[in-house]
Structure 1
């Protein structure tokens, strides 16, 4: 019988990989907390309208990539392709937007049906943060500062670069859209197939084309910056002024448009050259109309999402590793029940201690091999003679010169705590 395999583009995270994931997620949580963000957990399955209404019918996400289906009740549901729309739905549903300044973060899997490749999977993971009710440029800057601090914490500051742009307000984009269509229409036959389709429905997305001929045409296109109204221009100028004053390096990229319809004004991306074509590791921007589009009262918003797999790839390229090893390994030559009794006593007295038991049994030689492979610092040897007098033998597995010690079971927790750094326990 053929083995069942995981779905293409949806990968298992194996035990040897998960410590680095946990390490990264803990640092992201800590950074979000330091900026007064609180966690929100949203479903992976929503009514498809949550996304079609917010993201836009003419986007690649909705047209090509959403996992949408009709359930047994006839409702059209979708696995979430991104996090912002679901957070907005939850904030409206639970009345979280009455007081300006709601700041939330989320993390978890997202789903898009696209061709799997390095850095782009059908199930991928994001960490994101959203701010509601604040339209000041300082809000945009604080969010950029938060991500900048994340790169610094992770040692990735020199591996990413920040690009920013302004998409203006709704009226600005409508005016610019017509200018862009007027410019591109005479060049229509020279555009790639996707760009010709986008010309009719979402012409700003043509800036994302990787086709060389299309890129050459877009290089001479009218600039969105020239179509900005006074308010949007003043907002962006203030964002840039504050970033300059704070010493944040960035590049204004007039072709940065973002792929979802709900963005407006400030948009930003952190890009790396270390991951090939999938160079965007974090992106976001302002979405001042999205809450109203989802049925709520007009409420400004801004947020970002970070691709966890892509950040992990950068960390792994730098040689960052995390291992999860027990501090103690119980080598046993007594009744297994007595071994478990000793183990539970230690866990009661040192709750954060990492401890492994030799449940498979076998010879001392075989058990010590397993103890060494586990990465544990100490092996506790439970032998019949020692246990009869209430003692265990302790062997340092990492220092061959250290002498084996005999320790009373009643003193064992204190002995261990005095030799293993508390910060290393757990």
Structure 2
């Protein structure tokens, strides 16, 4: 039986995984520069967490979650997004009681959604996300937006466009909700069954429908910006003033609606303009979610965050021909001839690796020429050639693979020699 990988998943192989590691490491370093700390939460949670946190009316909860019952008859779900689990952990571990506030966290890991697989949209995908909990200051909204833009810029993505909107507070959304119902209700039969079901439950989600995006009623729908009360309007103006202060370009899009129910006030998406991205141009999304902590049993705590798919980020890098060269290269490859030399090479290899030097040797009894070819393929900076004659004289020949120069040194000085040469080349 030929067992293949499940649809909507992928193997990330050596040669590609280095790009992933580079992206994750760059994002982590940026987060740490902004004083965010890493958190790791379970890959599966109680299903109720996502029903309450993400929202019953969302496509994620209604159609896309991988849910199962375990042997203890507990209803569990593979996490479809990261925020709900982070907030659950924030509440359960009482992070709101720590002295340093707000609590600023980042995470990375696999998420799972049952969707039709396509470029940039997988059933198992990897998200990198940030959550800042405990501050209602508009300045932290600007900080989060600055952080995500910094990650993309340091990875080399260009032609970025930041789009922002305000979804307002509860009072503003209630007024806008009724206006949307009044707008769509007379012609709701023209819309898909999903939109018809959302009309009374969550009409804002109609604006996010892909099937009916070309319906003329979408363009003429009431704008949330016209229904912001004074407090919500003032908050949005403050966010924009901070973005202006740090010279972070943005566009206001009144039709921007995030696909999760917990968002309010600031909402945003980061897009990449240019060729090579197909139909998917949105690279990152997020926003403020005041009220989510309370809905999961915690104290009144404002929050804001974002998440992006690493798969989509790699699509952007490939589309702009900016995939970094991050192949793993060897510092030293041991070439051996003779049984005693092979035995000694195991000892030498252990010494090199203990000193922090990336080193390897032949394990297939290849001829000398084939061993040198292997060193070339592994892009070794140096090869160290040891035969039984050299071993008897306590020497070893070291070749610089870039310059072709060769030097004979004492066998017990190999590690120190390679260390100095590597440091001198940096």
Q: TM-score, structure 2 length as denominator?
A: 0.94
Query: Is the contact between residue 207 and residue 215 of structure 1 (CA under 8 Å) also seen in structure 2?
Result: no
Q: Secondary structure at the match of 1:421?
A: helix
- Secondary structure, aligned partner of 1:97: helix
* C-alpha contact (below 8 Å) 1:268/1:283 kept by paired residues: yes
Among 353, 362, 368, the alignment partner of 2:372 is 368
Aligned to 2:350: 344
Please give the residue correspondences for 1:171-320 in structure 2 after superposition, counting only pairs within 5 Å. Answer: 171-211=171-211, 214-273=214-273, 274-317=276-319, 318-320=321-323
Contact 1:381-1:394 at 8 Å conserved across structures: yes
Q: Please tell me whether residue 359 in structure 1 is matched to residue 360 in structure 2.
A: no
Query: Given the superposition, is the C-alpha separation of residues 91 and 113 from structure 1 closer, same or farther in structure 2, using an over 3 Å criterion?
Result: same
Displacement of 1:26 after TM fit? 0.9
| Deviation string, structure 1 residues 253-291 (Cα, Å, up to 9, x no partner) | 111110000000001110124422222211111001000
Deviations 1:390-423 (CA, angstroms, capped at 9, x unpaired): 1111122233xx3322121122122212222378
- Deviation, 1:46, is 0.5
Partner SS for 2:110: strand
Partner of 1:415: 417
Q: Which residue of 2 aligns with 1:146?
A: 147
Counting only pairs closer than 5 Å after superposition, residues 31-42 of structure 1 correspond to structure 2 as 31-42=30-41
Q: Distance in 1 between matches of 2:420 and 2:244?
A: 50
Aligned to 2:83: 84
Aligned to 2:66: 67
Provide the secondary structure at the position in 2 that maps to 1:164.
strand
Shift of 1:178: 1.3
The offset of 1:200, in angstroms, is 3.8
Match of 1:391 in 2: 395
Bigger shift: 213-222 or 92-101? 213-222
Task: Tell me which stretches of 4 or more aligned residues in structure 1 moved more than 6 Å.
Answer: none
Task: Flag the 1:124–1:346 CA change in 2: closer, same or farther, 3 A.
Answer: same
TM-score (norm 1): 0.94
User: Alignment length, in residue pairs?
Assistant: 418
**Cα–Cα, structure 1 residues 199 and 70, in superposed 2: closer, same or farther, change >3 Å?**
same
- 3-state SS of 1:177 partner: helix
Q: Judging changes above 3 Å, is the alpha-carbon distance between structure 1 residues 294 and 213 closer, same or farther for their aligned structure 2 residues?
A: closer
Q: Alignment partner of 1:104: what SS?
A: strand
Residues 209 and 215, structure 1, Cα contact 8 Å, conserved in 2: no
Please give the alpha-carbon distance, in whole angstroms, between the structure 1 residues aligned to 2:3 and 2:254.
47
**SS class of match (2:255):** coil
Native 8 Å contact 1:392 1:407 kept in 2: yes
- Please point out which of 321, 324, 329 is paired with 2:328: 324
Name stretches of at least 5 consecutive residues in structure 1 with no aligned partner.
none
Describe the superposition over 1:232-271 as per-residue Cα deviations: whole angstroms up to 9, x where unpaired. 1110011111212221111111111100000000011101
CA contact (8 A) 1:281 1:310 kept: yes
Task: Give the 3 Å change call, closer, same or farther, for CA 423–50 of structure 1 in structure 2.
Answer: farther
**C-alpha distance in structure 2 between counterparts of 1:203 and 1:413, whole Å:** 68
1:190–1:213: 8 Å Cα contact kept in structure 2? Answer: no
Partner of 2:156: 155
CA distance in structure 2 between the aligned counterparts of 1:171 and 1:29, rounded to whole angstroms: 37
Query: 2:336 and 2:206 mapped to 1: Cα distance?
Result: 66
Secondary structure (helix, strand or coil) at the match of 1:26 reads helix
Q: Give the equivalent residue in structure 2 for 1:24.
A: 23
Q: Tell whether the 8 Å contact from 2:38 to 2:106 is kept in structure 1 after alignment.
A: yes
1:134 has 2:135 as partner = yes
> Which stretch has the larger CA shift, 93-102 or 161-170?
93-102
Contact 2:162/2:250 (<8 A) preserved: yes
Contact 1:190 1:214 in 2 (8 A): no
Alpha carbons of structure 1 residues 98 and 384: separation in structure 2 relative to 1, 3 Å: same
Residues in 1 aligned to 2:34 and 2:215: alpha-carbon distance in whole angstroms: 39
Q: Distance in 1 between matches of 2:363 and 2:95?
A: 50
Q: What do the CA deviations read for 1:13-63 (whole angstroms, capped 9, x no partner)? A: 111111111111111111000111111110001001111111111100000
In the aligned structure 1, how far is the partner of 2:416 from the partner of 2:423? 12
1:293-330 deviation per Cα after TM superposition (whole angstroms, max 9, x unaligned): 00111111111111111112222332323101211111
Q: Which runs of 5+ in 2 are unaligned?
A: none
Q: Matched residues in 1 for 2:283 and 2:310: separation? A: 8
Preserved CA contact (<8 Å) 2:207 2:213: no
